[in-house]
Amino acid sequence: MDERQGGDHRTRVVRLYREYGPVVYRRCLRLLGDEEQARDATQEVFVKLLREERLTGEDAEVLPWIYRVATRHCLNLRRAVRHGRWSLDGGRELEVADPEGAPYPERRLAQQILARFDTTTQAVAVGVLVDGMRREELAGALGLSRRTVHRKLARFLAGARRLLLGKEPAP
Amino acid sequence: MTRCPSDLELERLARQPDGASAPHLGACARCAARLAELRRLSEVFEREVFLATVEAVVAGAAPRPVPRAAWVAVAMAAAVLVALGVGWLRAGRGDGALDLVARAGPAAAALADGQRIPAGAALRLEIRPRRACTLWVAAADAAGEVTRVFPPKAMTGTLGLPVAAGTTVPVDAPARPEGRRGPERYFAVCLCGDDALEWKDVDRAARAIGPGEAPLRAARGIPGLPDETLQASLLVERVER
């Protein structure tokens, strides 16, 4: 890469990072609950976003995509932390919102059992129970069908109930 | 709009307010607080995150042409490894992105594929994916029996272990019960992406190899797993010593 190309690259990255970096940072902070971890995750997520060259579209397309990439990255990070590969000193539990339509017992279960499910199911559960998203909106943001969102959420809640009764989630 | 917008909607509305949402955002105290927090975090980002990370982001996103000399060095290194027979084995789909080496003790030499070992020997496996993925290790014998080797159920339940790219995972594989003899194959499978690969899926697919020494010796990978699964395997012949 010559000097001019390097300058163009830098200018473009700085502009995009300044514009969309806050969106990524807020999402990472929301899921990780720790400012230092969120800062590192923001940097990592943004490099991923830049490599896919999709940050130049309309907000209606770009924001859900940022949400999807950042959510999956942070959920994977949380999962890795739980398995002891990194420390997350000071990290807080997910702060469950008060979404309309999510009964209280389901919200309470979410924090306790999230770790037992795959990342996609976690993303669905977090989207509905933590972010208060409608199923249609979440399906669009995660790139899933509404049917898949419904099925994964139902599986998550059924598994949560089984875990609460001291049983393993159904296969 | 009568309901509170989700976090994602709020991000969009903060950037581009629309007429439909204005009445709600103007009247809802909770949403007003959320918008204020959103703006506060934008300032935090600009003040504390942007300056500290922008250079790393610029560098991380830069195109990385691979010098020709590097390709030559990689090819020479690969040739040397093959010539030395160090025992790294790559099999299955993918681009050779999962390495598996086995030793009959922490300081022992790496085993070659098909090597004879004492029936009662425990093994130390070292598995290294080149990409981030979710790891399982299974063992199969000529009786068609499939054993979950790693991760233990107490660690991850029905799911595998997420492993970062380039991380070497050490796995202790115990000796087979009662010092049984015959071929035994260790399979490392690692699923890339966000989908889940549960133990029951690995177990079912590995059992499809079926009983018999010949199918086990020939099976370099577990058939029927998702395309994004990296695989490597190693065969040992357990003999009486």
| Residues facing residue B237 across a β-bridge | B116, B183
Do A112 and A60 lie in one domain? The reply is no
pLDDT of B142-186, one tens digit each?
Answer: 988 999 998 887 777 788 888 888 888 888 888 777 778 899 999
Classify B88 in phi/psi space as left (phi over 0), alpha (psi -120 to 50) or beta: beta
DSSP one-letter code for B17: -
Chain A residues whose CB is inside 8 A of the B46 CB are 18, 22
| Residues facing residue A23 across a β-bridge | none
Q: Give the minimum alpha-carbon distance from A103 to chain B in angstroms, rounded to a whole number.
A: 16
Res B106: pLDDT: 62
Q: Are strands B182-191 and B133-141 parallel, antiparallel or unpaired?
A: antiparallel
Mean pLDDT of B12-38: 84
Res A85: pLDDT: 39
CATH code of A55's domain:
1.10.1740
Do A21 and A66 lie in one domain? The reply is yes
Provide ipTM, 2 decimals. 0.73
Cross-chain Cβ contact A21/B50 below 8 Å: yes
Mean pLDDT of B59-68: 68
**Mean pLDDT for chain B overall:** 81
Cβ-nearest to B57 among A17, A23, A60: A17
- Domain of A11? 3-82
Q: Does domain B88-239 have CATH number 2.60.40?
A: yes
In angstroms, the CA B152 to CA B160 distance is 9
Copy the structure tokens of residue A27. 């999402």
pLDDT of B118-143, one tens digit each?
Answer: 888 888 898 988 888 889 999 999 98
Number of structural domains (chain A) is: 2
B61 interfacial to chain A (CB closer than 8 Å):
yes
Do A125 and A61 lie in one domain? The reply is no
Ranges of H-type helices in B157-229: 199-207, 213-218
Do A59 and A108 lie in one domain? The reply is no
- Residue B92 pLDDT exceeds 70: no
Do A111 and A70 lie in one domain? The reply is no
Query: Does some domain include residue A140?
Result: yes
Query: Does some domain include residue A50?
Result: yes
In angstroms, the CA A156 to CA A116 distance is 9
- Residue B5 pLDDT exceeds 50: yes
pLDDT of B174-217, one tens digit each?
Answer: 877 777 889 999 999 999 877 778 899 999 999 999 888 888 99
CATH code of A147's domain:
1.10.10.10
In angstroms, the CA A42 to CA A49 distance is 10
In angstroms, the CA B214 to CA B193 distance is 33
Res B189: pLDDT: 94
Q: Which of the residues in chain A have pLDDT under 50? A: 84-105, 107
Give the strand order in the sheet containing B123-129: B98-103, B123-129, B169-173
Do A76 and A12 lie in one domain? The reply is yes
- Residue B110 pLDDT exceeds 50: yes
Cross-chain Cβ contact A14/B54 below 8 Å: yes
Domain locations along chain B: 7-60, 88-239
- Residue B15 pLDDT exceeds 70: yes
| Residues facing residue B140 across a β-bridge | B146, B185
Cross-chain Cβ contact B60/A67 below 8 Å: no
- Residue B67 pLDDT exceeds 60: no
Do A77 and A108 lie in one domain? The reply is no
- Residue B40 pLDDT exceeds 90: yes
